[in-house]
Amino acid sequence: MKRIIAPSFLASNFLKLAEEVAMVNKSEAEWLHLDIMDGRFVPNISFGLPVVEQIASATDKFCDVHLMIVEPEKYLADFKKAGADQISVHIEACPHLHRVLEQIHDLGMKAGIAVNPHTPIDFLRDIIQHADVVNLMSVNPGFGGQKFIEHTYIKIKELREVIDQKGLNTLIQIDGGVIQGNARTLFDTGANVLVAGSSVFKAPDPEKAIADLLGA
Ligand code: DX5
Ligand code: ZN
């Protein structure tokens, strides 16, 4: 099964962004994870289009943009222009999720559904076939450096069952509190993509931290 590490730039040193991107470019990470927060869907504001554009221009790796914003449909084309290869939108922020996923695909990007910790996997059953990835949030979105919510393991199993039953190859992404100590169990439980912010960028050797998470 596919295993990918996606370092989350929320935890990076913004004064040394070029070096941080260069580190990820050299590393075994296949994706870059870029967290966009609007202070409305989540109680925090992160960074926006100009930063995504500069990061994307400095890498050939896959740019995974996680929109934690209300009305994400308003900004899809802008993020595509900035260099996004994939956009995930929150199921809780999209009353017309099917339409939004189609819009992302029509713009030539991969489409993801992000799911808050309290949102049941059952809510994905009639829409999952339209997504390339499901981002299961393993913390409440809005901040880096939080503690992993253990109930996520049950959700991974449920989601894996849905994906297998339907014969899909949707990726399962885990976002929040991923560390060396849980990476292996997450992969073994059925996750494909691990987002890691603090455990990569705050590590003494971030490139090694990425390799260790992948080989965990
Ligand atoms: C949280 C973000 C995450 C965050 C993960 O709202 O979606 O991507 O950056 O950070 P860590 O790995 O530090 O929990
Ligand atoms: Zn994220």
- The predicted model gives 29-52 an average pLDDT of 98
- Ligand-binding annotation for 78, yes or no, is no
Q: Can you read off the two tokens belonging to residue 108?
A: 């030539």
| Structural domains counted in the chain | 1
Shortest-distance ligand to the CA of residue 144: 1
* CA gap 86, 80 in Å, rounded: 8
Quote the pTM value: 0.98
- Look at residue 120 and tell me whether its pLDDT is greater than 90: yes
DSSP H helices, the chain, are 17-26, 49-57, 76-82, 97-106, 152-165, 180-189, 198-201, 206-214
DSSP label of 88 = E
Q: Ligand 1 centroid to 182 CA: how many Å?
A: 15
pLDDT tens column, 2-12: 999 999 999 99
The response to whether 88 counts as a known ligand-binding position is no
* Catalytic status, residue 175: yes
Q: 177: domain CATH number?
A: 3.20.20.70
Provide the residue range defining the domain that includes 178: 4-214
> What's the CA-to-centroid distance between 33 and ligand 2, angstroms?
7
Residue 19 has pLDDT above 90, yes or no: yes
215 is in an annotated binding site: no
216 has pLDDT over 90: no
Torsion sign (Cα): 42, 43, 46, 48: positive
Task: Choose the residue to mutate in 139, 174, 210 for probing ligand 1, maximizing ligand atoms within 8 Å of C-beta.
Answer: 139
